[in-house]
Amino acid sequence: MSDNLPDEDRHVPPGVSRRGFLASTAAGGVVAGVLPPALIADQAMASDGPSSALSVTVNGRRHQVTIDNRTSLLDLLRERLALPGTKKGCDQGACGACTVLVDGRRVNACLTLAVRCQGAEVTTIEGLAAGEELHPLQQAFIEQDAFQCGYCTPGQIMSGVACIREGHTGSREEIREWMSGNLCRCGCYVKIVKAVQQAARKAGS
Ligand code: FES
Ligand code: FES
């Protein structure tokens, strides 16, 4: 991608500001907020396998759904709860694009069975911002220009939030080590580490 492009034109779709792009990772949350309850309530998918009733809180909102026992947390979020901010990359636990927080701990949603989240509190990228105010790490990603295509970004940010809370931000090397499960095909690692450092400083860690 050409470096001659103006900053606003790099890495983001035409007509979309960088702040808007980062905020759009929360679009699923907005959509979920305006969808009729019938569309986000229990829509049991056709299944020929055993199913379970699941009660889970996602971004502060409680959901009760009946799911096939084989459903991953990632598919539950994206396909049942209309929260597409969490990305499906490898679907095999190798890329970190699907990182979310379950009871405050980061997990790969593609490797987590949704039924294991009974009664849990799940936080996705859509639940990070406080209204119009981005989470400090979302803001840091913008200020550090820490994404290009943006596909890995929700997972990077969720992992970074946990990395900061865990106190693994003592050095660039430590951040790299504790963020090593999150791959970026665009190679934004240097700026991602800078963004995590910036947010960690703001958090006082
Ligand atoms: Fe889950 Fe790649 S999609 S680790
Ligand atoms: Fe493109 Fe990370 S910004 S994969």
| Same-domain pairing of 113 and 65 | yes
CA-proximal residue: ligand 1, atom 4 (nearest): 93
**Residue that is last in its domain, among 82, 98, 127:** 127
Residue 174 included in any domain:
yes
Q: What is the pLDDT of residue 4?
A: 40
How much is the mean pLDDT over the chain?
85
CA 55–ligand 2 middle distance (angstroms): 33
CA 200–ligand 2 middle distance (angstroms): 21
DSSP secondary structure of 125-166: GGGTSBTTB--HHHHHHHHTT--SS-SSHHHHHHHHHHHHHH
Q: What is the pLDDT of residue 48?
A: 72
Instruction: State the average pLDDT over residues 32-43.
Output: 40
| Same-domain pairing of 66 and 36 | no
Residue 92 included in any domain:
yes
- pLDDT higher than threshold 70 for residue 190: yes
Instruction: State the average pLDDT over residues 158-183.
Output: 98
Residue 96 included in any domain:
yes
Total domain count, the chain: 3
| Same-domain pairing of 58 and 38 | no
Residue 2 included in any domain:
no
